[in-house]
Amino acid sequence: MIVKAAEKAGFLEERLKDFQNNGEWVQRDLNPGPPPREQLQFIEVKSQKILVTRAELEEFLVTRELSGVTGKHIKEMRRAIIRYLKHVKFVVTKKESLEYFQWFQRKYSIGYYKKSMYSIMLFLTYLGVTWQNNIKLPGNPTYQTKRIAREDIQSILEYFKNHKYYPQIKALILLGANSGLRAEELYQLTHEDIDLEKRIVYAHHDPKSGQSTKTKRSRVSFFTFEAQEALADYFEFFEKDEQLTWLFGQTHLIRTFRDSLVQVKELRKFFSQEWDRRGGSTSIKKILMGHSLRGDVDLMHYNYQSEEDLKKIYDKVEIKTEI
């Protein structure tokens, strides 16, 4: 985002009037030398009061994008940081920031608080703030994992049976339940990522094309003959439908599953639980589901399986959703 020099100068002048009596200010050029950077930042020596512009925020987000962060996460980071900056009126101080963080923690869930705070703290580090290094985010809360069985999968299939987009919903449910892909990975799939004949699905990590995986690694997984049939029916339906533009559009499907007893993200839980119920290897499950292999010496250095090996093991376990 490019901000004109005149607009920035006016903005900075207005902010300085509000704070000219609050301490001694030191002007610092963030990018000395030719060509000079027009944007200025002002720091109060004692309390580390930092005046921030939107241009600086966008520069920070560019650095995150260059590090491989996807467009979706960039939007989430921008939203969290803008909300914070508006609260402190684009002037970062320790007192006002801590008050905001306390309010935010009380208002939202631990998971959402941690996710937003992570973005804000990265931005503060980028600005050169030091006091935020003492903030320790809380650990994840303990919770009882929801058990999802075949009966639950059949129940949601029945729930959506008369839906206008049932072919799409059925294909998504069976593919998610039989492949172990994350919800975000399902939403990103294209026709080219699904090999119907070989029953292979490819989860690509390619941020430039809008596809990403949590571990930043591409991988393969597989699906059953039942899912293969559902996908074939859906591909035919997709070609004829004039409304659908994405194979599994995220916004549309999140809204569709809003009142469902099983959410799209929980289909992955079924795969994990059913794999174990059928005696499948935990190490192979980790590979198929795309778990991080850090700390697993066997998987990192010894246990390599080819795509053909994985498919043979997958078919032997026989994941099933029928009752």
Q: At CA 177, angle to CA 171 and CA 180, rounded to 5? A: 115
Query: Taking the CB of residue 104, how many other CB atoms lie within 10 A of it?
Result: 18
What's the predicted TM-score (pTM) here? 0.66
Is cis: bond before 35, omega within 30 of 0? yes
d(CA 157, CA 163): 10
- Cβ contacts of residue 286 below 8 Å, gap of 6+? 293, 296, 299
d(CA 135, CA 114): 11
Among 303, 317, 320, 314, smallest CA distance to 198 is for 314
Domains of the chain: 5-133 (no CATH), 150-317 (1.10.443.10)
| β-pair partners for 43 | 26, 50
Match 């009882």 to its residue by tokens.
Answer: 144
Taking residues 296-314, what's their average pLDDT? 89
Provide the token pair at 212: 């990403």
| Backbone phi and psi for residue 72, each to the nearest 5 degrees, phi listed first | -65, -45
Q: What is the pLDDT of residues 128-145, one digit of tens each?
A: 998 988 999 888 777 678
At residue 40, the pLDDT reads 39
Residue 180 predicted with pLDDT over 70? yes
Residue 91 predicted with pLDDT over 80? yes
Q: What is the pLDDT of residues 229-276, one digit of tens each?
A: 999 999 999 999 999 999 999 999 999 999 999 999 999 999 999 999
At residue 235, the pLDDT reads 97
DSSP state of 37: P
